[in-house]
Structure 1
Amino acid sequence: MTDSNQHNVTGSKVTIHDVARAAGVSKSTVSRMLDERLPRSDSEKARHVRKIAEQLGYVRDISAASLRRGETGMIGVIVPRLTDTVMAMLYESLARAAMRLGKFTIVASTEDEPGAVRHAAEALLRRGVDGLILSTARDEDIYTKELRARGVPYVLTLRTDGVSLSAVGDDQLGGYLATRHLIDLGHRRIALIAGPSYASSATGRRAGYLQAMREADLESDPDLIVGSSFSIEAGVEAARQLLELPRRPTAIFAVNDNTAIGALSGLASIGLSVPDDMSLVGYNDVPIVSHLPTPLTSVRVPFDQIAHEALSLLSEDMEEIGQPIRRVAPTLIPRKSTRRWHDAHGNAVASRP
């Protein structure tokens, strides 16, 4: 038996050999029974090994195990910026998922500049990370092709290039749910603050918007679709542009909560009320949107599930991966920023054309 410092009777640290000797099993059996990455066995032998390990005060040395496998246990994560709540939430989810696997994450940011991705990735690789998770993918980016050619393990998350291993939300479904919600409330002139064209997340949500409009036999007026970045300032500018149209929309779907918050500010600056004058839907459901003076209807993205899928893809054998792009379904969260639309006479508009 050992003291609380997890040392054996000789004063040295308890090893896997000590556990194997005391349990009367092989070292490989102990390693397998105590490996937290594997499904937990409830066999009599496994319970016996865990009991002996606990009595001896054995703690598995994850770093040593990683070094024996030629790994460091470090995963590099690249995000556009951590001041963006969405990216901060993603990183926290990735860090938690990595911790459950006995690994830890290192983050680098790029300010969403294409050339900065290469610099960040190479810096992380020089520090010995076992793989990369990138949330910076652009449609025109060629760096992922280079990583693939070099055999560097990497996974894209939140955004995909359509080819690489990717863990993303089902953005087309999310865009469809947001737009369908507004249609069901009687809105016919529904504007889209579309986000940047280089991000698959934005283009997927736009595709969902167009799908819902087509299914409802509603015209997709090009003037109602405004490109933007993912910033609050871009949302303010996009809302102002929409409000200058001869025929204003009655509802706005913004493909990002930041741009939705910006749109909310832009509407308030000219005295328009949400939802009385304009219904508004955002995307991602970051924590602040439920605490706004007018809580924002938003599409919730399951970041923890996306992070789990990303770590799974990074650790799986390439030959065993059935679906290289894993999409996780989002959920619409209705709040007070959307309401049924009434015509000029105060009559509720039917939910379908």
Structure 2
Amino acid sequence: MEPTVPNVPVTLKDVAVASGVSLSTASRALDERGTPSQSATAERVRKVAEELGYRRNAFASNLRRGQTRTLGVLVPRLSDTVMALMFEEIERAASSRGYFAIVATSGDDPNDERKAAETLLDRSVDGLILATSRIDDDLPKYLREASVSHALVLRTDGVSPSALGDDEVGGYLAVRHLLDLGHEDIAVVTGPAFTSTGTARLAGARRALSEAGVTVNEQWMLSAGYGIRSGFDAGQELLKKKSSPKPTAIFAANDNLAMGVMAAAKEHDLVIGDNLSLVGYNDIPQSALLPTPLTSVRVPLEQIASKAIDLIVDPSNGQEVRKFMPTLIPRASSGKPQ
């Protein structure tokens, strides 16, 4: 029986020797961080590396530079469609810049969020991207004081680097659309009071009502969670038979809330788009595929993700807070009052 030959990995030195170049020249030719050199020497080195089956150890290389080219992303939960979409965009944007993104979930508890952040930092990530959303969150302040590179997405505390949609403008666009259709009896279902998204979208809705000279019915300004069940409960409260008058239109501060309102409307024999107009927020893919397609405010997640990566990898951005313009997407769920 022939002796087994151990599978010895090909090293950078092997590639350099086989290519007839120095170790540093081989390293530069195989460095994937920038635009690859098109010189004949670099092309030869890459061809030899491929023939030998060389695989660059990027992790070890980056550790020598004090980097891992890895970014940690912290989200409340990946069962939330917007959070999942946001992470996918961050992952794509990171990859295009030569980084790898890993995700951790934290729920809504600040202590759990801090533990999740520390877990990511223990993995020696080069920076943190936070999609968590509490206004009273001390984590960004802690990261600033500890000089940890970070950026907030879909939210801002007004201090840490942030990339988000302009939620106040989005709330304004949603309610302005209903007002332009002729509605005045408009209810608003916002997210939790501890979220910057919920408070900003409500502020935009109130501004639109005020500009139109419509008196706000405070009983129709409801704060809820961001799930479908929360939207259903809020819809039941607004549409219960004993209440009079009832709203002819509802702005729900995310699409899950809007879908919950749709379910409540059905129980009260109301037809969305006819008896009751409805506008959601975020324009998740399901919105256009509902039995009554949902009018929604679209947020440019791709731009937000790209900017968040820039805020971390380019120190010249400083403490920039960048807001991107949302867009109203009208569909069948919003119609004129009967």
TM-score range (shorter-chain normalised) is: 0.7 to 0.9
Deviation at 1:172, TM superposition (A): 1.1
Deviation at 1:171, TM superposition (A): 0.8
| Separation in 1, partners of 2:219, 2:42 | 65
Aligned: 1:88 with 2:84: yes
Which SS does the other structure have where 2:232 is aligned?
helix
Structure 1 residues 153-172: aligned runs within 5 Å: 153-172=149-168
Structure-2 residue corresponding to 1:290:
288
Q: Deviations over 1:330-351 (max 9, x none)?
A: 2111111011223xxxxxxxxx
Against the structure 1 CA distance between its residues 54 and 216, is the aligned structure 2 distance closer, same or farther, given a 3 Å change threshold? farther
Deviation at 1:52, TM superposition (A): 4.2
Once the two structures are aligned, what percentage of the paired residues are identical?
43
Structure 1 residues 1-353: aligned runs within 5 Å: 12-13=10-11, 18=16, 27=25, 30=28, 35-36=32-33, 38=34, 40=35, 46=38, 51-52=43-44, 54-57=46-49, 61-244=57-240, 245-317=243-315, 320-321=316-317, 324-342=320-338
| Separation in 2, partners of 1:226, 1:69 | 52
Which SS does the other structure have where 1:265 is aligned?
helix
Is the contact made by 1:74 and 1:129 (CA closer than 8 Å) also made in structure 2?
yes
Against the structure 1 CA distance between its residues 335 and 22, is the aligned structure 2 distance closer, same or farther, given a 3 Å change threshold? farther
Letter matched to residue 313 of structure 1: L
Deviation at 1:35, TM superposition (A): 4.8
Letter matched to residue 140 of structure 2: T
Q: Deviations over 1:212-268 (max 9, x none)?
A: 122222222212210101011110111111124321111101001111000000111
Runs of 4+ in 1 over 6 A off after TM superposition: 21-24
Unpaired segments of 5 or more residues in structure 1? 1-10, 343-353
Structure-2 residue corresponding to 1:346:
none
Letter matched to residue 291 of structure 2: P
Q: Report the TM-score when normalising by structure 1.
A: 0.83
Q: Deviations over 1:24-63 (max 9, x none)?
A: 9x749946x9554x5x59xxx7565664454344676532
Aligned pairs, number = 325
RMSD: 2.8
| Separation in 2, partners of 1:197, 1:172 | 14
Is the contact made by 2:297 and 2:329 (CA closer than 8 Å) also made in structure 1?
yes
Is the contact made by 1:16 and 1:30 (CA closer than 8 Å) also made in structure 2?
no
